[in-house]
């Protein structure tokens, strides 16, 4: 009998991290353009805007006033635009709402 191969979850997943030690160099612009282009090439793309205090992805991708949906069990359903699934703190907060997270609270956001 031939062994049936079982596909492991996220087996073919690739992560591209874009970062810089300096602000204002175009990280978010490059990220948004790369995500949209990869999606147009047929890849399944998700974008996490990990810039907790200076999120600009919602404005760049035109979803500034959209809120993600949540299921009854609390799972957040990302906003999708141009084939890219997006989660950004900018879409989870109300407009002009201050975020006062510091230290361990801020450090544990993505875990």
Query: Could you tell me the residue ranges of all domains in the chain?
Result: 27-107
What are φ and ψ of residue 36, in 5° steps?
A: -65, -45
pLDDT tens by residue, 31-47: 999 999 999 999 999 99
Which residue stretches of the chain have pLDDT < 70? 1-7
- pLDDT in the model for residue 22: 87
Q: Can you give the pTM of this predicted structure? A: 0.79
- Cβ neighbors of 69 (< 8 A, separation 6 or more) are 76, 77
């Amino acid at each position: 009998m031939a062994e049936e191969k079982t596909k492991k979850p996220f087996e073919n997943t690739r992560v591209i991290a874009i970062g810089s030690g300096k602000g204002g160099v175009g990280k978010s612009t490059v990220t948004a353009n790369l995500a949209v282009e990869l999606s147009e090439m047929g890849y399944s793309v998700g974008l996490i805007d990990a810039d907790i205090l200076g999120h600009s992805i919602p404005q760049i991708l035109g979803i500034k006033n959209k809120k993600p949906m949540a299921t009854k069990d609390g799972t957040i359903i990302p906003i999708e635009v141009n084939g890219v699934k997006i989660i950004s703190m900018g879409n989870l907060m109300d407009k002009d709402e201050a975020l006062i997270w510091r230290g361990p609270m801020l450090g544990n956001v993505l875990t």
